[in-house]
């Protein structure tokens, strides 16, 4: 089960972790400190804080996947765009032999499959992004490659 906590200050996140940890312990559950990570977005060049649970210190990560989107500590969309292109390319490759190079299927069927699988995978959660020209070029290059 994936849970996400968001906080503006490190001490607020530690308080939330303590509250969740105590609620879990009352229910007989524990937070797995080896599988729980913290994505810290620094506001200055100071050292990142440490976060602890009753089982140990939590590790810091630079990126993680949340609801199918890749979130990074730099908030750079280039990594997310490349991630989406890689996923769409993989889905296109898996369907290539059965659909796209199949001579028994008409072009309209191939395009319908491409739009349903390739384009939807490529543009998943794009409404939350503000794409720059370089990102749009990446999308267009992949689209032309697929066509």
Report the pLDDT averaged over residues 118-125. Answer: 85
pLDDT of residue 58: 86
pLDDT of residue 63: 83
* Residue carrying the six token digits 């804080």: 49
Structure tokens at 14: 């530690």
Phi, psi of 63 (to 5 degrees): -155, 155
Each residue's pLDDT tens digit, 83-99: 889 999 999 999 988 99
pLDDT of residue 106: 92
Q: How many CB atoms lie within 10 A of CB 56?
A: 12
Report the pLDDT averaged over residues 1-26. Answer: 84
Q: Which residue has the higher pLDDT, 58 or 127?
A: 58
Each residue's pLDDT tens digit, 37-80: 888 877 776 777 888 887 788 888 888 877 777 788 777 788 88
Portion of the chain with pLDDT greater than 90, in percent: 21
Report the pLDDT averaged over residues 15-19. Answer: 90
Structure tokens at 84: 């989406």
Answer yes or no: is pLDDT of 112 > 90: yes
* Residue carrying the six token digits 């303590």: 18
**Cα distances (Å, whole numbers) of residue 21 to 32, 52, 61, 82:** 10, 10, 20, 36
pTM of the entire predicted model? 0.66
């Amino acid at each position: 089960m994936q849970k996400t906590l968001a906080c503006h200050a490190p001490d607020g996140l530690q308080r939330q972790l303590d509250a969740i940890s105590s609620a879990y312990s009352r229910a007989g559950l524990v937070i797995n400190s080896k599988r729980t990570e913290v994505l810290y977005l620094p506001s200055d060049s100071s050292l990142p804080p440490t976060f602890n649970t009753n089982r140990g210190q939590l590790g810091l990560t630079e990126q993680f996947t949340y609801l199918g989107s890749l979130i990074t500590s730099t908030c750079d969309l280039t990594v997310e765009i490349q991630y989406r292109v890689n996923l769409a390319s993989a889905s296109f490759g898996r369907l290539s032999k059965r659909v796209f190079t199949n001579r028994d299927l008409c072009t309209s069927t191939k395009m319908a499959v491409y739009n349903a699988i390739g384009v939807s995978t490529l543009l998943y959660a794009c409404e939350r992004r503000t794409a720059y020209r370089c990102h749009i070029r990446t999308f267009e290059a992949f689209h032309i490659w697929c066509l």
